[in-house]
Structure 1
Amino acid sequence: MATIVKQLRAKAVQATLLLQKHGCVYDTQLNMGYIASDRHAGNIWSSTRFSRFSSSLALDLLISTLVCLDLSYRLLRNFSSQAAFVEGDDRPPSLRKQASLKEDVILRAFPRKNTGKIWCKKERKVGLVPSIVFEQENGHLGGNKELISVEKKQLENIVNKIGQTFFLSRTYDLEIYDKPGGELQKKEKVLPRTIHLHSASDELLNVTFIRAPPSAKLKVGIPLVFIGEDSCPGIRKGGYVNTMKRVVPFVCPADAIPPFLEVDLSTLDVGHKILLRDLKVDPRLQLCHTDSSLPILKIMGTRSMEEAAVPAK
């Protein structure tokens, strides 16, 4: 019991020091944890009180540790992109994630004959993710479906590294083997269409792919990456970015799909907008929206800031 209490006390001290380092306060006497100020995200979080149990010292320490770890998770989860920079690397986190992933990623899969909930559960228990590959021509769903199972660990590593949005916006080489450790049956280029996660555990349940030969025109949602926030005049004056769209759908050839589109904010003042037609894209990319005047983002501020940004006539 003494060893457990000592370990819990050490974890509580470590968690408390981590919170204090990032501007957080945890009062062990009142058993109250709160965020004093979040200097990165610009948020003020209200106090969160927790009922105090005095049944034993171990229980008090356990509650304190869990509260501290929960607050640490919430704080780190709400860091802005500027706080997430790696020292010595001034690229946005999403760009660094893309750079860390190899250009040609090979996914290993195996044929699947059976369907249904029971068979899919059996596939997941042996480390496979039930998946489907089908055709999509000119942005419309097609046929020629093929049932496969993809290695779960490999998919999880990719999704965790670059995120779901970026996972769905790039092509992969799919190798289908007759069995684990068997011979290669065929290899083709595919684009992830949908990914389904468990609502509670975030476990990969299934993935849908579409075949992506170079000649095919595919509909794909391309994520936007905002750069130049540090030098944006509107943000430096105290404004903030009101984002309307983070992913923009395009129809484009499979060999011309960009992993992301950069949006430069370095020249935007308070009240300025960026529209869909302002995006700099490859001429082969066709915007799916009929109205290209829809806004992507706007630099917001108080009314006085917006009036000051408008030049007097």
Structure 2
Amino acid sequence: MSQKFELFAEDRPDQGKGASRRLRRTGKVPAILYGAHRDPRALALDHNALLHQLENEAFFSSILTVTTGDKSQPCILKDVQRHPYKNQVLHVDLQRVLEDEEIRVTVPFHFLGEDTAPGVKGGGVVSRVMTELEITCLPKHLPEYIDVDVSKLELEVALTLGEVALPEGVSIYGGEEMLEQPVFIIHRPRREEEIEGEGEGEGETPPGEVPTTTGEPEED
């Protein structure tokens, strides 16, 4: 069952860099709500409440509800700008959604059966080539994540996007050309003797040959 997330917002009459800096000093985050064939709307969100919700993976791939006054609007999170080193959100982009129009969202993969995969049991090393997927779907079909079963994967065999079972109503953004993209591979580990053997022969003189030097002759 999908989790429900609600954002409480207020209108932001003043815009621009200076106005945004002043807003952040009051514990608010400037945001923009756009889409659904309507004009963009400048909003302000509570910073601490937003930061808490951003800790939840599902927040990024769920239909959110943004409430301003007595009106609510379904939307999705499209972009989050963060401070480069502070734990601070600088700006948020929200996109309105309509129930009869497809949306484009990036959702995470959840890998199942890694421990029981034959390749892992055989000593293989896991490589998650893709950890998320950009999809298109109607809002009612939006999954929080996509399960990827790797429990039968052998060594050196890649699981491709075309082999991932997608939820009902979900399509891969990018079309059929994406189907051959590798998602998950279990590599054969390099043997210790192969690593040790990489340096063999370096600096040694083959039998029957006289060592030569390329530098200047040594002085007495």
Find out whether 1:167 has 2:59 as its counterpart: yes
User: 1:143, CA displacement in angstroms?
Assistant: 5.8
Query: What percentage of aligned pairs have identical amino acids?
Result: 21
2:46 maps to 151
More strand per residue: 2
TM-score by length of 2: 0.80
Q: Which has the larger radius of gyration?
A: 2
RMSD over aligned Cα atoms: 1.9
Pick the aligned partner of 1:285 from 151, 170, 174: 170
User: 1: distance between equivalents of 2:114 and 2:32?
Assistant: 40
Pick the aligned partner of 2:68 from 170, 173, 176: 176
Amino acid in the other structure paired with 2:185: K
SS in 2 for 1:145: strand
Amino acid in the other structure paired with 1:169: S
1:135 maps to 35
SS in 2 for 1:231: coil
User: 1: distance between equivalents of 2:130 and 2:38?
Assistant: 31
1:107 maps to 7
Pick the aligned partner of 1:302 from 181, 189, 197: 189
1:121 maps to 21
User: 2: distance between equivalents of 1:215 and 1:151?
Assistant: 30
SS in 2 for 1:173: strand
Pick the aligned partner of 2:84 from 199, 204, 216: 199
2:112 maps to 227
Amino acid in the other structure paired with 2:162: R
SS in 2 for 1:220: strand
User: 1: distance between equivalents of 2:189 and 2:47?
Assistant: 48
User: 2: distance between equivalents of 1:245 and 1:222?
Assistant: 11
Identify unmatched segments of 5+ residues in structure 2.
192-220
User: 1:303, CA displacement in angstroms?
Assistant: 6.7
Amino acid in the other structure paired with 2:45: V
CA contact (8 A) 2:62 2:76 kept: yes
User: 2: distance between equivalents of 1:255 and 1:151?
Assistant: 27
CA contact (8 A) 1:222 1:247 kept: yes
CA contact (8 A) 1:170 1:191 kept: yes
Amino acid in the other structure paired with 1:214: E
Report Cα offsets for 1:268-294 as digits up to 9, x if no partner: 111122111112123421211231111
CA contact (8 A) 1:168 1:194 kept: no
CA contact (8 A) 1:243 1:297 kept: yes
SS in 2 for 1:168: helix
User: 1:250, CA displacement in angstroms?
Assistant: 1.0
Identify unmatched segments of 5+ residues in structure 1.
1-98, 137-141, 178-183, 305-313
User: 1: distance between equivalents of 2:32 and 2:59?
Assistant: 16
More helix per residue: 1
User: 1:215, CA displacement in angstroms?
Assistant: 1.3
Structure with bigger RCO (C-alpha 8 Å, 6+ apart): 2
SS in 1 for 2:115: coil
User: 2: distance between equivalents of 1:120 and 1:247?
Assistant: 32
SS in 2 for 1:258: coil
Give the total of aligned pairs: 189
TM-score by length of 1: 0.57
User: 1: distance between equivalents of 2:38 and 2:6?
Assistant: 24
User: 1:202, CA displacement in angstroms?
Assistant: 3.0
